[in-house]
Amino acid sequence: MKKEKISLDLKSNPSLTVYYFLTRGLLIILILSSVFFLTSSSISSLLFNPLNPFSLYNSILAATLWILFGVSISLFLSIFYSNSLRKSFRLKIIGNYLYYKGGVFFKKEILIPLDSLESVEASQNFLEKLLGFFSLRIYFSNKTFKFPGVERGLELASFILEFKD
């Protein structure tokens, strides 16, 4: 079997972790912290009941510690998820094919012939502009892929379009 030459091998920019933390991670923190906040009264009444011999008798301290524990767990999970999501994206051009990989929970690996490539778009929203990277949208005849965290978006888009012919 002949080994194909890799013309392009892209990984996402490390500042994409900050982007995913601000756009997805804060939502994870809000949801998980809300769960810990809503369950704080039941935890404090269960574990810190004066009738319980193992109780600390201070339900306000218990509720506060439970909420702080929830916030710290959710902060850790959101940072871990944001970094894992950034590391999951990969874009390669191998011979006449484009290889795309992405996803944390629902992984996607696709190999598409470059003959079906229609166009490539480099765009920035406000937060991407502040962090200094672009997102590439690669349009094929039957699919569209978004590859975030690219430093030189327009140059890369024109480079990918050169492989169309």
**Percentages (nearest 5) of helix, strand, coil residues in the chain:** 50, 25, 25
CATH 2.30.29.30 in the chain is located at 6-12+88-164
* Stated pTM of the model: 0.75
Q: Determine the pLDDT at residue 152.
A: 85
For residue 2, the SS3 value is: coil
Q: What is the mean pLDDT of each run of 10 residues along the chain (165 residues)?
A: 67 86 88 81 63 59 78 90 89 87 88 88 91 90 86 86 76
CA 143 to chain centre: 21
CATH architecture assigned to 6-12+88-164: Roll (2.30)
pLDDT at 124: 92
Nearest Cα to 64, choosing from 51, 80, 48? 48
Contacts of 99 (CB under 8 A, 6+ apart): 90, 91, 92, 93, 109, 110, 111
CA distances from 127 to 16, 18, 139 (A): 10, 10, 23
Question: Could you give phi then psi for residue 12, rounded to 5 degrees?
Answer: -75, 155
pLDDT of amino acid 112: 87
**The total number of residues written for the chain in this structure:** 165
